[in-house]
Amino acid sequence: MSRLVVISNRVAPIREGKVAAGGLAVGVYDALRQNGGIWFGWNGEVGQNPETACESAGNITYVTLGLSKPDYNEYYRGFSNATLWPIFHYRIDLARYSRAEYLGYRRVNAMLAEKLKPLLRPDDILWVHDYHLIPFAAACRQLGIGNRIGFFLHIPFPTTEVLTTVPPHRDLFQTLCDYDLIGFQTESDRMAFQDYVCRELDGLIGTDGSLTACGRNFRAGVYPIGVMPDEIRRLADSYRGRRPMIGRTAEGKLRKTLISVDRLDYSKGLVERFLAYEQLLEHYPEHRRNVELIQIAPTSRTDVKTYQAIRKQLETVAGHVNGRLADLDWMPLHYLNKSLERRTLMGLFRTANVGLVTPLRDGMNLVAKEYVAAQNPADPGVLVLSRFAGAAHELGAALIVNPYDCLGMAEAMDRALRMPLEERKERYEDMMRALRAADLDAWRDNFLRDLRTFGRHRVVTASC
Ligand code: GDG
């Protein structure tokens, strides 16, 4: 079988036997470990000479390089995270655009393609990940690389009206046509992409479902990323820590807990969630002193201004909720900016009565799936899930909420806290069937099968 070469923005070599990290890293790692291959990308360091370094572990070769300060500022901090990320999450109001950053983004993609080229064999297949690397295939084609190249977008693909707010949108998104296969998390994302291709790139849909635009013929498919339910269950089972932080009611019973885990990001809806929780305690006073919300929110992208602003806002709102409602023997909201071990996280999921996953927009949201997989089948908790998370397309048995409806979310939390065992079990079993039908292996295997099956990158006519 042809060798797999994975290209992702950030590469952190995984050592055998380590407790697995989430999502992308594990899915990709397993594919590489099974068949052997290369994992190529940025090593996370800034200011170094961008020379590539190789490190082999088993049959995986990690090839990584540092970024210069201007490359980091323009490609990563600038165009990727201050332009594309907010716009793809429907936050045009938070996006900024700088032509210099866009040129830096294109320059780094071209540089990465050049660094990779000498390592490639003619029959390698390339799997490129996420919004940092949209023009990577185009950069490869310019260097004469004719290998099959697939792209998976982990975040939502917005509607054409929103996408066209990216000033160089045509210049950038036409480069997606240089991939052989483009994968999305949901059917809505795939349809939004197809709409963009037809309306903005004069694309055509073939009778075989393929797309033709900019002189290229390519495919778009839906590959929802999943989790490994059995592995999560094992981790949750093996967690022996006591229920950290969770207090007892005046009668000595353990308090009911709601749990949320998100990177600290404005797309995750934390402010709205805290305010909804306040509404719960206001409208349903019987929950006061009897529940606690634990919010784990490790910081990310701390040098991007919008992230500094959301952090400040959250500190204010969390302080407001606790200041207003807490008492000497009860803290309603535990807000932690630290990262926990994965086993601890799965253990916390297991013990929490409610999983609150209420992003304003999310490609998939693995936490929703992990929360369900970590439950005790005999006494499962309830998932409250935003309709704007990709996961809601599969987990219809969750309590689906609109995160912009504060009172509606408070009502759903109340319902979740009171839900009878039978209903909890039914919903849990339904969701577990969905998790098993589209687990992490299926995500990877289906994408790679389609990339291998569909014809080699076909040039139809001259480009756009
Ligand atoms: C992008 C898309 C899509 C979180 N805190 C801790 C911790 N985590 C783990 C979770 C989960 C992962 O990080 C987060 O994944 P999400 O899917 O929730 O969100 P993003 O980071 O935004 O990921 C998203 C995903 O790509 C995959 O395609 O689902 O929509 O935005 O696995 O458990 N892990 C540990 N400690 C923490 O404190 N160990």
Beta strands at 291-296 and 256-261: parallel, antiparallel or unpaired: parallel
Lowest mean pLDDT among 154-158, 355-359, 383-387, 451-455: 451-455
Residues in the chain, total = 464
196-201-203 Cα angle (round to 5): 85
- In the chain, the N- to C-terminal Cα span, in Å, equals 34
Task: Point out which residues pair with 335 in neighbouring strands.
Answer: 295
Could you tell me which residues come within 8 angstroms of residue 186 by beta carbon, excluding any fewer than 6 positions away? 156, 222, 224, 364, 390, 393
**What atom in ligand 1 is closest to the CA of residue 363?**
30
Alpha helix positions (H), 201-304: 229-238, 270-283
Q: Which residues are catalytic?
A: 154, 362
Predicted-complex ipTM score? 0.99
299 lines ligand 1 (CB under 6 A): no
Looking from the CA of residue 370, the nearest atom of ligand 1 is: 33
Q: How many angstroms is it from 342 CA to the middle of ligand 1?
A: 11
d(CA 118, CA 133): 19
How confident is the model at residue 23, as a pLDDT?
58
Q: Is the CB–ligand 1 distance for residue 155 below 6 Å?
A: yes
**Per-residue model confidence (pLDDT) at position 51:** 82
Is the Cβ atom of 22 under 6 angstroms away from ligand 1? yes
What letter does residue 186 receive in the DSSP assignment?
A: S
> Which of 263, 268, 335, 370 for a ligand 1 pocket mutation test, highest count of atoms within 8 Å of Cβ?
263
Q: What is the number of the ligand 1 atom nearest to the C-alpha of 390?
A: 30
User: pLDDT value at position 52?
Assistant: 86
Q: Is the pLDDT of residue 22 over 60?
A: no
Tell me the average pLDDT across 422-441: 97
How many angstroms is it from 117 CA to the middle of ligand 1? 31
Contacts of 325 (CB under 8 A, 6+ apart): 278, 281, 288, 332
Q: Where do the H-state alpha helices sit in 155-228?
A: 160-163, 169-173, 187-200
Q: What token pair was written down for 318?
A: 């969390």
Q: How confident is the model at residue 20 (pLDDT cuts 50, 70, 90)?
A: very low
Residue 95 has φ and ψ, to the nearest 5°, of -85, 145
Q: Concatenate the DSSP letters of all residues of 101-167 into one string.
A: HHHHHHHHHHHHHHHHGGG--TT-EEEEESGGGTTHHHHHHHTT--SEEEEE--S----HHHHTTST
Confidence label for 445 from pLDDT (cuts 50, 70 and 90)? very high
